[in-house]
């Protein structure tokens, strides 16, 4: 780099909080760049008010702001993801509760099925017993009707014998 490249470079100025580019060459740079020197001597720059300090400070400020914005965006993304995970966890808890209730209902249904089978067996047995009792009652009735008929026949025979 030649000395004229650095001497003609514009500097930054701040006016009412706004950073402006100063098209005039900086007097400080003329001191920093030696005549005929091919390299820029960073160590000879004065520390206060150097345009590189302003550039780096602006760059640091922008980098700091970017980091702050990025951190805030990542924090919001993490919070959103955590809320979403919480909702999903609540949904999973609800599903687990529903599964437990379904298993309980399934166990109850199995128990009711077994009890229904026992009840069906008892009803069939009761119906068979009732049919047997009904058959026995029918047979007894038929027997009594035959006995009555036989007695009535005997009674008619005796009445005829008495009437003769």
How sure is the predictor about 43, in pLDDT bands with cuts at 50, 70 and 90?
Answer: low
* Residue 38: φ, ψ to 5°: -100, -15
**Residue 22 and residue 10: Cα distance in Å, rounded?**
5
**Residue 164 and residue 161: Cα distance in Å, rounded?**
5
Higher pLDDT, 129 or 14: 129
Question: What size, in residues, is the chain?
Answer: 164
6 closest CA partner among 48, 43, 35, 49 = 35
Question: What pLDDT score was predicted for residue 58?
Answer: 72
Question: What pLDDT score was predicted for residue 133?
Answer: 96
55 closest CA partner among 34, 29, 16 = 29
Q: Is the pLDDT of residue 144 over 90?
A: yes
């Amino acid at each position: 780099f030649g000395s004229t490249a650095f001497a003609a470079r514009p500097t930054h100025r701040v006016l009412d909080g706004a950073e402006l580019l100063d098209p005039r060459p900086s007097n400080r740079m003329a001191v920093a760049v030696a005549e005929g020197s091919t390299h820029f001597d960073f160590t000879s720059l004065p520390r206060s008010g150097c345009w590189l300090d302003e550039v780096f400070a602006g760059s640091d400020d922008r980098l700091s702001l970017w980091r702050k914005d990025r951190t805030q965006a990542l924090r919001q993304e993490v919070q959103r993801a955590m809320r979403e995970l919480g909702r999903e966890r609540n949904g999973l808890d609800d599903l687990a509760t529903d599964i437990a209730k379904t298993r309980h209902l399934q166990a109850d249904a199995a128990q009711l099925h077994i009890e229904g089978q026992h009840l069906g067996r008892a009803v069939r047995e009761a119906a068979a017993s009732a049919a047997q009792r009904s058959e026995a009652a029918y047979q007894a009735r038929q027997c009594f009707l035959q006995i009555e008929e036989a007695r009535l026949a005997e009674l008619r025979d005796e009445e005829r014998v008495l009437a003769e």
